[in-house]
Chain A
Amino acid sequence: MNMLAPKPAATTPAALSTPADFAALPKVSRLRPVLAQLLPPLLVVVALMALWQFAASGPNATLPPPSKVWTDARDLITDPFFDNGGLDKGLFWHLLASLQRVALGFALAAVAGILVGLLIGTSDFAMRGLDPIFQVLRTVPPLAWLPLSLAAFREAQPSAIFVIFITSIWPIIINTAVGVRNVPQDYRNVAAVIRLRGPAFFWKIVLPAAAPYIFTGLKIGIGLSWLAIIAAEMLIGGVGIGFFIWDAWNSSNLSDIIVALTYVGLVGFALDRIVALAGRFATRGTSAS
């Protein structure tokens, strides 16, 4: 114990104000990893741009080079917020419309998926009955649901949301169920010794133990949602980044498509990160032991 006593002192902020030999250390170790992280992707992007410029500059090129994209779609790139009424809006508004659909569909899928997953994780009967059905349904491609959903809802908006819902719910259900079934025997033993049962056992042991699995399901689900919404919007029309791309294709506006694709990729990446971050926050420590 005695040898542990100085430890708290060393971790307090006071340690930062110690002499130069201490202060010098963080400077080097902090900047280096950032550079090491940023430099390679930056170099690769520059190299790819150069390659693309070269490949698309020939007389027979079918796609515009980056320089042409910039001159063609400059307004689109620099001002995502303009709104000229109708469908003539900046990319921000299209992305916002798509994100709203995803938010609604994914939120419904998350709630329903976690509840169903918890149920089939705790009940052997439900597991045996429902699992085979889910395994088949989850392989149905998102767009295959669209005709049925249009027939059922008779409107574009709820149909699109339903497609998101039905696409993203399967990984959430399946991962949640696996998480509940995989609560380690050690934790069950601890709960048994302190006589933690029923709802308390569920809230204090099962849910936290399954949380990493649940977040894995949510992360897969949000990725699928974003894939599905772009495809669905191409078919249903209206404001939305999917229809924007389809519209640009119909007016042969390839530069706009390229800009839109870049945004779609960036937003998809951001969604993935946000869910991963939420997961890391909610499951602090759980995976590390």
Chain B
Amino acid sequence: MDRFLDISQLSVAFPKAPVPVLREIDLQIARGEYVSVIGHSGCGKSTLLNVIAGLLPATAGGVVLEGREIEGPGPDRAVVFQNHSLLPWLTCYENVKLAVDQTLSKAMSRAERSDWVLENLALVRMTHAKDKRPSEISGGMKQRIGIARALSMRPKVLLLDEPFGALDALTRAHLQDQVMDIHASRGTTVVMITHDVDEAVLLSDRIVMLTNGPNARIGEILEVDLPRPRDRLALAADPRFVAARTAVLEFLHTRHANPALAAA
């Protein structure tokens, strides 16, 4: 298999904590693949993503992207954060522009960069709000600006940390479709963290299921070989979709039930 992004023997422990959060994670991701990571709250999903992003150091093992070991954060691994993290003093346009100016100033002229910002805003259909500040737009719109900002860096890997977690079901479905379109058109490799089983099955090529932490490992990896483009309505009754969904649910609720709920 193509080892575009190669996570090997990765363990992560926080200082002062006796037990590592993640233990000996092994995962290979191919170029252009869409991989979801699912697991109960607190099992270490954000931790895994932050290590890939380079925002957290690995305690043991490491992550290699295109043959290069990851040693810190960089625009080749753009992150869409769990809470959008837009800079509130900048307009939507300026938020994306800051990332573009910072990462593509050598590759593009000033005018090209401005066009590229607008192109990415158009991609998430936010052109109409480009001059608004984050406090003036809805949660779903903020998340879309966050996605535009991440995509505008031309990342090799797009890292999404529960990008739709805080949104209502309608907005979420809408954004999921947009992300599917973007994945199809740009061919970016995506690692997405989610709580939502339907979302994982609908969007992913593979679903990585983490066991409960601490000492979380990869419990199982499920291949979702549904043809693309995928249509949520048509798939709802598709037996392959239902089977994949059942498999994930069974993993999460029977074999690795939520520890907090189990204790109660």
If A193-B75, A193-B78, A194-B102 touch, does A284 touch B128 (CB 8 Å cutoff)?
Answer: no
| B125 sits at the interface (CB 8 A) | yes
B246 within 8 A of A: no
**Contact between A285 and B134 (Cβ–Cβ < 8 Å)?**
yes
Contacting residues, chain A, for B21 (C-beta < 8 A):
none
Question: Is chain A's binding surface mostly helix, strand, loop or mixed?
Answer: helix
Number of interchain pairs (Cβ within 8 Å): 69
Chain B hits for A285, CB < 8 A: 88-89, 133-136
Consensus secondary structure, chain B interface: loop
Measured CA separation A240–B75 after assembly (Å): 59
Q: Is the CB of A289 within 8 A of B77?
A: no
> B85, A190: Cβ atoms under 8 Å?
yes
Interface size on B, residues (CB 8 A): 29
Q: Does A235 contact B (CB under 8 A)?
A: no
Contacting B85 at CB < 8 Å: which of A187, A196, A211?
A: A187
The answer on a CB contact under 8 Å between A194 and B103 is yes
Q: Does B151 count as interface, using CB distance less than 8 angstroms?
A: no
Residues in chain A near residue B75, CB distance under 8 A: 193-195
Complex: A200 Cα to B103 Cα, angstroms: 13
Q: Considering the chains assembled together, what is the distance between the CA atoms of A209 and B85 in angstroms?
A: 13
Residue of B whose beta carbon sits closest to that of A287:
B88
CB distance from A275 to the nearest CB of B (A): 19
Please, how many angstroms separate the alpha-carbon atoms of A4 and B78 in the complex?
28
The verdict on A253 contacting chain B, using a C-beta distance below 8 Å, is no
Complex CA distance for A205 and B77, rounded to whole angstroms: 20
Q: Does A36 contact B (CB under 8 A)?
A: no
Q: With A194-B153, A195-B75 given, is the CB distance from A286 to B55 under 8 Å?
A: no
For B159, the closest partner residue in chain A by CB is A193
CB B84 to nearest CB in A, in angstroms, measures 9
New A-B contacts (18) at CB < 8 Å, excluding given A192-B72, A285-B136: A1-B125, A4-B128, A186-B81, A186-B85, A189-B73, A189-B79, A192-B73, A193-B75, A193-B153, A194-B99, A194-B103, A195-B102, A208-B87, A209-B89, A211-B89, A283-B89, A284-B133, A285-B134
Interface residues of A (CB under 8 A from B): 1, 4, 7-8, 186-187, 189-190, 192-196, 200, 204-205, 208-209, 211, 283-286, 288-289
Q: List 22 A–B pairs whose Cβ atoms lie within 8 Å, in order of A's numbering.
A: A4-B128, A7-B128, A187-B85, A189-B79, A190-B87, A192-B55, A192-B72, A192-B73, A193-B55, A193-B77, A193-B78, A194-B98, A200-B102, A204-B98, A208-B89, A209-B89, A283-B89, A285-B89, A285-B134, A285-B136, A288-B135, A289-B135
